[in-house]
């Protein structure tokens, strides 16, 4: 038995699974129990993985077991099976062979190679596995893991199409549900959609378009309006994505410089020397992915393995496809739609060295590669790298950096908008900073072919030649539109005149547009339509949050006093009534901001009745696979305008998009969180990067009531450095990361008063602890109700600790029942 082995141990009357952490000569306790059995003769966790688990437990204040669990695939004991085979003709029985060993050997002699489950049936109620391992040690039995072949199970998808001619269906539109009901609206939307789309379609397309479900389709089928059918798809994740093998292009000069640095790092790591992480900072389309591909290629050539983390497979299909194309047969994909069995198979293949690369979201970091040499974190600023359902509450960026150090691998972190803390590490030399300032459009050839397909005259193309085979494009121009002026000019629409004109142009030229609405933070803050300012806490300058009177549907238990309607500061707990006048300029036009994607879509349809619109938000993507469907729908030119939220900011490539409109740029700025400006800058920059990736060029329009704000100014100028310097100064002044560290303690309870009581109690204890241990550098903020004051019917209260190392105050004695997060990405 060795560290990393998965074992079964007695616990009370149960058998539980555990992982061997250390083997000690002298147990520290008097009474010990023997380990019952090995679950898997292969070591499940490598030494580097065990070290990572210990590190994570330490850094995130989480129980060690939860960190070890990250690395053991679900159902390992149930999924895994082994193939047992006798090595040759049975040697004469020797005196030291036990009856159990003898029985197993005879069985394998008689029946040939068997799976463990078959042996279980042949030798019922016998603990034959230790005997098998003993025989294997003497070379008499071979044991190999059994894996199902990688791509098998066909999956059936349901399809739907119109059963009657569109005019016939159109005449029925009012008779398919109760007047004024939601179901009528959904069914009408389904039929409208099918009328535009001849031929059978995957039902989830219809769901995504209409918000409807199978019940609606049944209702329509009963009325003879639609036909439901079936067609087969392959569920293998790799086989499902088509790809063409591709050759690496020659690098541009900037790429060459970055690549040389990383190559040197790989050589250094191979020589056993510690190598600091690389921060690869380059705008969208600057050629970062090409660098990752080179690095992976180099690692594979040296017999090593690589982990590539992406925010979400469904949102980064192009990146994934490029890895599949460059390294056919060597890439394993991990994503949320894999079954437990598929996940287990990938895990095992990686462990056996049958895979060279794994691409996936944050959990892919725990792939058990025995010869890991490279970890890439693409779009490393992305919040999906934080595990907010824990414990452990960990950030995959930090975990990747730690893991690379422990495993002797190289870590490459790529982003167009690195988070402030990462950028600062690179600035101070702890990490290496690599920059790709130029945007690459693509090969000359690809550009020309693309332009031809779009029937664009060559002289209309907006690109210039870089060295080698690549062409360059500058970032799209950004226009900032002051919405206060629109109001003054009498335009009450949510679209400015500039945006309306630009949309008109796009529709006339049959190009595509994206309208982006920041969902985070919408409809919760109050601002002045004349001066643009939002209302802020007089004590800590945090934006105040407006809580509307509780709606009648939400039934609070009678004992609980609902929090009074009005303004709340979610940092310090300050409360106030909604003022009648703006404290800045005295205007009475203070309003809440409240616009959803639906409203944007409705207004759009009103202005441009002929436009085909598509909504991409949390509502329309609830169904499995809906991301892919909406995206491919839009990419195939089946819609003119895509209205969406945060998902638009991820790494997708939409070549026909020539206009990006941001409905209200400052929305995210008014969240009561110290990273609000940073996150707003990041999302605006990423969204703006979606325009002008086509040879047709493109334009970005930012609408805002706060055109002076530095985050908006910097995003409009594509000026990361300006934002970085300004924001860093602000953080230094107010004492936020990277100049301090934070710990957030959160308590949830069905009753608001109970949560508040618990929070006040712990706050008292912590205050006493800080005083008695004379930790003057550690500061406590709160308690206060969280911004999202109620989640899943539970009230949330929080306490923030701030200082050089606030986690040390809790290490070894964390308060039970509290959710504890070290440096969480937000304090909402
Ligand atoms: P990023 O990952 O920074 O968004 P990519 O690596 O995806 O950038 O590069 C943007 C586009 O330029 C892609 O279409 C890619 O194929 C192409 N490209 C990248 N590097 C080169 C190169 N050296 N020569 C030609 N085309 C390139
Ligand atoms: Zn005002
Ligand atoms: Zn406050």
- Distance (Å, whole) CA 381 – CA 263: 24
Tell me how far the alpha carbon of residue 533 lies from the centroid of ligand 2, in angstroms: 6
pLDDT classification of 353: cutoffs 50, 70, 90: confident
More confident residue, 380 or 23: 380
Classify residue 763 by its DSSP letter.
H
More confident residue, 745 or 24: 745
Tell me how far the alpha carbon of residue 673 lies from the centroid of ligand 3, in angstroms: 11
415 lines ligand 1 (CB under 6 A): no
Q: Which residues have C-beta under 5 Å from ligand 3, the single-atom ion?
A: 537, 539-540, 569, 571-572, 574
Average pLDDT of every residue of the chain? 82
285 lines ligand 1 (CB under 6 A): yes
Tell me how far the alpha carbon of residue 586 lies from the centroid of ligand 2, in angstroms: 6
Q: Could you say which ligand is closest to the alpha carbon of residue 531?
A: 2
496 lines ligand 1 (CB under 6 A): no
Q: Could you say which ligand is closest to the alpha carbon of residue 705?
A: 2
pLDDT classification of 524: cutoffs 50, 70, 90: low
Which residue out of 247, 280, 440 has the highest number of ligand 1 atoms within 8 Å of its CB and is therefore the one to mutate? 440
For residues 742 and 753, the answer to whether their CB atoms sit within 8 Å is no
Tell me how far the alpha carbon of residue 286 lies from the centroid of ligand 1, in angstroms: 6
> Which of the residue ranges 188-197, 374-383, 752-761 would you say has the lowest mean pLDDT?
188-197
pLDDT at 228: 80
469 lines ligand 1 (CB under 6 A): yes
Using DSSP bridges, classify how beta strands 566-568 and 545-547 pair: parallel, antiparallel or unpaired.
Answer: antiparallel
284 lines ligand 1 (CB under 6 A): yes
**CA nearest 568: which of 219, 252, 308, 828?**
828
**SS3 label, residue 546:** strand
pLDDT classification of 799: cutoffs 50, 70, 90: very high
Instruction: Output the six-digit token pair for 326.
Output: 């460059």
Report the DSSP beta bridge partners of residue 17: 8
289 lines ligand 1 (CB under 6 A): yes
Instruction: Output the six-digit token pair for 399.
Output: 């975990």
pLDDT classification of 595: cutoffs 50, 70, 90: low
Which residue out of 316, 442, 475, 649 has the highest number of ligand 1 atoms within 8 Å of its CB and is therefore the one to mutate? 442
Residue reference for tokens 């219809």: 206
Residue reference for tokens 């929090």: 563
- Distance (Å, whole) CA 745 – CA 762: 9
287 lines ligand 1 (CB under 6 A): yes
Residues whose CB falls within 8 Å of the CB of residue 3, separated by 6 or more in sequence, listed in order: 20, 21, 22, 23, 43, 45, 47, 50
- Give pLDDT tens digits for 275-315: 999 999 998 888 999 999 999 999 999 999 999 999 877 66
pLDDT at 354: 86
Classify residue 467 by its DSSP letter.
S
- Give pLDDT tens digits for 332-347: 888 776 777 778 878 8
Alpha-carbon distances of 276 from 265, 545, 562, 654, rounded to whole Å:
8, 42, 52, 35
**CA nearest 686: which of 383, 448, 467?**
383
Measuring from atom 19 of ligand 1, which residue has the nearest CA?
287
pLDDT at 214: 86
pLDDT at 285: 80
pLDDT at 87: 81
Q: Which atom of ligand 1 is nearest to the CA of 290?
A: 6
> Which of the residue ranges 419-433, 636-650, 674-688, 694-708 would you say has the lowest mean pLDDT?
636-650
**SS3 label, residue 481:** strand
> Which of the residue ranges 66-70, 400-404, 557-561, 695-699 would you say has the lowest mean pLDDT?
557-561
Give buried/exposed letters for 397-422 (b at 16+ CB in 10 A, else e): bbbbbbbbbbbbbbbbbbbbbbbbbb
For residues 637 and 513, the answer to whether their CB atoms sit within 8 Å is no
Q: Could you say which ligand is closest to the alpha carbon of residue 574?
A: 3
Q: Which atom of ligand 1 is nearest to the CA of 436?
A: 3
Classify residue 536 by its DSSP letter.
B
251 lines ligand 1 (CB under 6 A): yes
Tell me how far the alpha carbon of residue 775 lies from the centroid of ligand 3, in angstroms: 24
- Give pLDDT tens digits for 1-14: 889 988 888 877 77
For residues 670 and 521, the answer to whether their CB atoms sit within 8 Å is yes
Tell me how far the alpha carbon of residue 282 lies from the centroid of ligand 1, in angstroms: 11
249 lines ligand 1 (CB under 6 A): yes
Which residue out of 286, 289, 359, 444 has the highest number of ligand 1 atoms within 8 Å of its CB and is therefore the one to mutate? 289
Q: Which atom of ligand 1 is nearest to the CA of 286?
A: 3
Instruction: Output the six-digit token pair for 715.
Output: 């995003």
Which residue out of 247, 285, 290 has the highest number of ligand 1 atoms within 8 Å of its CB and is therefore the one to mutate? 290
For residues 783 and 759, the answer to whether their CB atoms sit within 8 Å is yes
Residue 150 has pLDDT above 70, yes or no: no
Residue 745 has pLDDT above 50, yes or no: yes
Q: Give the containing element (helix H, strand E) for 82.
A: strand 81-86
Residue 452 has pLDDT above 50, yes or no: yes
Report the DSSP beta bridge partners of residue 306: 357, 374
Residue 678 has pLDDT above 90, yes or no: yes
Instruction: Output the six-digit token pair for 821.
Output: 């997060």
CA dihedral in degrees (57, 60, 63, 66; nearest 10)? -80
Where are any strands of DSSP class E within 218-330? Answer: 226-234, 278-282, 305-309
- Give pLDDT tens digits for 556-592: 333 333 344 678 777 777 788 888 888 888 888 877 7
- pTM, entire model: 0.77
Measuring from atom 17 of ligand 1, which residue has the nearest CA?
442
**SS3 label, residue 802:** strand
Measuring from atom 12 of ligand 1, which residue has the nearest CA?
442
Highest mean pLDDT among 24-33, 320-329, 805-814: 805-814
Q: What is the percent of the chain with per-residue pLDDT over 70, rounded to a whole number?
A: 83
- Distance (Å, whole) CA 98 – CA 135: 10
For residues 545 and 788, the answer to whether their CB atoms sit within 8 Å is no
Residue 40 has pLDDT above 90, yes or no: no
Give me the mean pLDDT over the 614-623 stretch: 67
pLDDT classification of 741: cutoffs 50, 70, 90: very high
Q: What is the percent of the chain with per-residue pLDDT over 90, rounded to a whole number?
A: 34
pLDDT at 474: 65
User: What strand order describes the sheet that includes 699-704?
Assistant: 478-482, 699-704, 657-662, 512-516, 641-644, 613-616
pLDDT at 315: 67
Measuring from atom 27 of ligand 1, which residue has the nearest CA?
442
Measuring from atom 25 of ligand 1, which residue has the nearest CA?
470
Where are any strands of DSSP class E within 199-277? Answer: 201-202, 226-234
pLDDT at 423: 97
pLDDT at 79: 53
- Give pLDDT tens digits for 467-484: 555 555 567 789 999 998
Residues whose CB falls within 8 Å of the CB of residue 302, separated by 6 or more in sequence, listed in order: 266, 270, 373
Instruction: Output the six-digit token pair for 632.
Output: 């491919």
Phi–psi pair at 698, nearest 5 degrees: 170, 175
Residue 264 has pLDDT above 90, yes or no: yes
Give me the mean pLDDT over the 95-105 stretch: 84
Instruction: Output the six-digit token pair for 562.
Output: 């609902």
């Amino acid at each position: 038995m060795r560290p990393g082995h998965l074992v079964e141990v007695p616990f009370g009357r149960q058998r539980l699974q555990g992982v061997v952490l250390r083997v000690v000569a002298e147990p520290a306790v008097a009474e010990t129990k023997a380990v019952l059995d090995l679950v898997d003769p292969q070591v499940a966790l490598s030494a580097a993985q065990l070290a990572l688990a210990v590190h994570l437990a330490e850094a995130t204040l989480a129980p060690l077991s939860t960190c070890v669990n990250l690395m053991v695939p679900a159902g390992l004991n149930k999924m895994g099976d082994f193939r047992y085979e006798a090595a040759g003709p049975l040697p004469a029985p020797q005196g030291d062979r036990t009856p159990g060993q003898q029985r197993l050997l005879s069985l394998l002699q008689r029946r040939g190679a068997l799976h463990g489950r078959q042996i279980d049936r042949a030798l019922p109620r016998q603990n034959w596995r230790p005997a098998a391992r003993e025989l294997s040690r003497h070379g008499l039995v071979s044991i190999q893991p059994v894996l199902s072949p990688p791509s098998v199970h066909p999956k059936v998808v349901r399809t739907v199409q119109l059963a009657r001619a569109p005019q016939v269906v159109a005449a029925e539109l009012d008779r398919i549900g109760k007047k004024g009901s939601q179901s009528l609206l959904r069914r009408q939307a389904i039929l409208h959609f099918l009328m535009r789309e001849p031929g059978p379609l995957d039902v989830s397309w219809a769901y995504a378009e209409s918000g409807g479900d199978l019940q609606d389709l049944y209702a329509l089928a009963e009325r003879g309006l639609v036909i439901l059918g079936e067609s087969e798809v392959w569920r293998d994740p790799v086989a499902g994505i088509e790809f063409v093998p591709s050759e690496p292009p020659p690098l541009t000069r900037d790429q060459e410089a970055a690549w040389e640095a990383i190559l040197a790092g790989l050589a250094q790591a191979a020589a056993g020397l510690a190598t600091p992480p690389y921060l690869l900072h380059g705008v969208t389309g600057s050629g970062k992915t090409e660098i990752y591909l080179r690095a992976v290629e180099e690692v594979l050539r040296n017999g090593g393995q690589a982990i590539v983390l992406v925010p979400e497979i469904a949102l980064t299909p192009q990146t994934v496809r490029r890895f599949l194309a460059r390294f056919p047969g060597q890439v394993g994909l991990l994503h949320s739609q894999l079954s437990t069995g598929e996940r287990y198979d990938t895990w095992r293949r990686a462990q056996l060295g049958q895979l060279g690369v794994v691409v996936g979201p944050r959990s892919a970091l725990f792939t058990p590669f025995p010869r890991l040499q490279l970890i890439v974190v693409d779009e490393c600023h992305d919040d999906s790298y934080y595990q907010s359902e824990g414990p452990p509450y960990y950030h995959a960026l930090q975990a990747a950096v730690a893991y690379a150090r422990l495993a002797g691998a190289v870590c490459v972190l790529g982003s167009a908008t690195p988070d402030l803390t990462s950028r600062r590490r690179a600035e101070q030399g702890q990490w290496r900073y690599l920059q790709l300032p130029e945007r690459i459009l693509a090969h000359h050839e690809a550009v020309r072919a693309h332009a031809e397909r779009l029937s664009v005259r060559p002289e209309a193309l907006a690109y210039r030649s870089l060295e080698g085979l690549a062409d360059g494009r500058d970032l799209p121009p950004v226009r900032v539109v002051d919405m206060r002026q629109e109001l003054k000019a009498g335009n009450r629409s949510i679209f400015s005149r500039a945006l309306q004109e630009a949309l008109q142009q796009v529709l006339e030229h049959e190009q595509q547009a994206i309208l982006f609405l920041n969902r985070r933070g919408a409809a919760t803050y109050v601002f002045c339509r004349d001066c643009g300012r939002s209302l802020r806490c007089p004590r800590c300058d945090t934006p105040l949050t407006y809580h509307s009177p509780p709606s009648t549907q939400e039934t609070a238990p009678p004992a609980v006093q609902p929090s009074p309607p009005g303004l709340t500061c979610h940092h310090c707990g300050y409360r106030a009534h909604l003022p009648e006048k703006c404290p800045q300029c005295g205007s009475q036009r203070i309003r809440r901001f409240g616009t959803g994607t639906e409203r944007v879509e409705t207004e759009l349809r009103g202005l441009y009745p002929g436009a085909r619109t598509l909504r991409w938000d949390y509502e329309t993507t609830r169904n499995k696979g809906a991301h892919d469907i909406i995206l491919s729908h839009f990419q195939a030119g089946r819609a003119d305008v895509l209205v969406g939220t945060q998902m638009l900011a991820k790494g997708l490539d939409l070549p026909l998009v020539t206009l990006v409109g941001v409905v209200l740029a400052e929305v995210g700025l008014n969240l009561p969180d110290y990273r609000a400006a940073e996150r707003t800058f990041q999302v605006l920059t990423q969204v703006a990067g979606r325009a002008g990736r086509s040879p047709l060029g493109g334009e970005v329009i930012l609408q805002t009531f706060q055109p002076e704000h530095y985050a908006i100014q910097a995003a409009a100028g594509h000026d990361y450095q300006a934002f970085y310097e300004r924001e860093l100064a602000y953080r230094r002044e107010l004492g936020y990361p990277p100049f301090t560290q934070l710990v957030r303690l959160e308590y949830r309870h069905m009753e608001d008063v109970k949560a508040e009581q618990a929070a006040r109690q712990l706050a008292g204890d912590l205050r006493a602890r800080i005083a008695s241990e004379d930790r003057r550098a550690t500061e406590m903020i709160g308690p206060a109700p969280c911004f999202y004051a109620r989640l899943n019917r539970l009230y949330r209260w929080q306490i923030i600790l701030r200082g050089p190392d606030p986690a040390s105050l809790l290490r070894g004695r964390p308060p039970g029942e509290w959710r504890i997060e070290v440096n969480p990405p937000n304090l909402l």
